[in-house]
Structure 1
Amino acid sequence: MSQSSVPDFAELLRGAQRTAVHLEMRDRYGVGDEAEEIELFARTGEIDLDPTARWWPEWLGLVKETLARGVVMRRARIVSEPVTDYIRWEHAVTALNVDAGEQVRWLPRRNASDIALPGNDFWLIDGRLAMFHFFSGDGDWVAPGGEFTEDPAAVSLCASAFETVWERGIPHEKYTV
């Protein structure tokens, strides 16, 4: 599928009919719009859980809109332990995702050694379309930032990996960092 024939991510999520699952596998992301908050958290331990601040209104609105259509949204994260400051921050702000209705689980990396995993984080929409995310070594987006595929082998790998991680994962409210 060519990059130009695929909708942007919000359109893609708006087109989901049953499921939207996301697997994250990095211990640190360096996405520019999070840098200030992460730096503050690393220095002070302070977090901003205001759902109207920064990028949250757009994301949480999209989540709520998607869930209102009956789509189930699940997010799983594979993390090294002890966790990085980034994961500590991410765990703290995940309360906003959960409050919006996303289901989130965490899997310690030591429990993922025997799982066949794709090489990149991904979203899987309705078990038919995978969107891979590409990041630099420092964790920032790499242009164009993602790739979409409906290739049955890639989609099957993503589905199997996600479901295995999900089964082994610890629900957000029970996982401590």
Structure 2
Amino acid sequence: MSLKATTFADLLAATRHSAVHLEMRDQYAVGDEAEDYAAFLDTGVANTDPAESFWPQWLPLVTNAVARGVVMRRARIVSEPVTDYIRYEHAITVLNLQAGEDVRWLPRRRASDLALPGNDFWLLDGRLVQFHHFTGKGDWAGKEHTEDADVVALCAAAFEAVWQRAVPHEKYTV
């Protein structure tokens, strides 16, 4: 199976132990969130219905992985004061938690001395990195996979350094 053509769902289904995700942008313009994000900007209320938006595709992936014993952790590095997008993301994170992810937030000022990769990534089972590429405006621009040991080590060390400093979701306020 070519990794280039492999979906994230396939990669996560093959994961047995751990899936960690590092997000480092203050704004994303991902198409499947556009309508919910616009409504949040208008009302200040996030849509946290697990049956709507992109959640029906995401939540079963997480719950199935967690049920198999996969530990899923997500860390987000954010500028403060936070952007409207981060306020939205914080508000919908309750669904990530309910599905079994553990989520933490790190104020960017506390990450200045950390060596971080140049892109957001998933690290699966400590062996495969999937980088996410975005345009300057935050639109999706593609993905890239690597199993290069040096890159895997960099991503693992970066994630763990962020995780140790980050604030658990329940204690982080926006």
Q: What is the rounded CA distance, in whole Å, between the counterparts of 2:73 and 2:115 in structure 1?
A: 19
TM, length-normalised to structure 1: 0.95
- The residue aligned with 1:93 is 92
TM-score calculated relative to the size of structure 2: 0.97
Q: Secondary structure at the match of 2:40?
A: helix
Q: Distance in 1 between matches of 2:77 and 2:131?
A: 16
Please report how far the alpha carbon of residue 7 of structure 1 lies from its aligned counterpart in structure 2 after TM superposition.
Answer: 2.3
Q: CA deviation at 1:3?
A: 4.7
User: Is the CA contact (8 Å cut-off) linking 2:40 and 2:47 kept in structure 1?
Assistant: no
List structure 1 runs of 4+ shifted beyond 4 angstroms: none
The whole-number CA distance in structure 2 between the counterparts of 1:39 and 1:53 is 15
* 1:81 maps onto 2:77 in alignment: no
Equivalent position to 1:153, from 128, 150, 155: 150
Alignment counterpart, residue 163 of structure 2, candidates 147, 158, 166: 166
**Cα distance, 1:95 vs. partner?**
0.2
Residue segments in structure 1 that go unaligned for 5+ positions in a row: none
What is the alpha-carbon distance in structure 2 between the residues aligned to residue 20 and residue 60 of structure 1? 14
- Structure 1 residue 43: Cα displacement: 2.1
8 Å CA contact retained: 2:62, 2:101? yes
Q: Distance in 2 between matches of 1:147 and 1:159?
A: 16
Give the percent of matched residue pairs that are identical in Structure 1 and Structure 2. 65
2:26 match: 27
Residue correspondence of structure 1 range 5-154 to structure 2 within 5 A: 7-142=6-141, 145-154=142-151
Moved more, 36-45 or 118-127: 36-45
Distance (whole Å) between structure 2 residues aligned to residue 168 and residue 70 of structure 1 = 25
- Give, in whole Å, the separation in 2 of the partners of 1:55 and 1:22: 18
Q: Distance in 2 between matches of 1:151 and 1:84?
A: 34
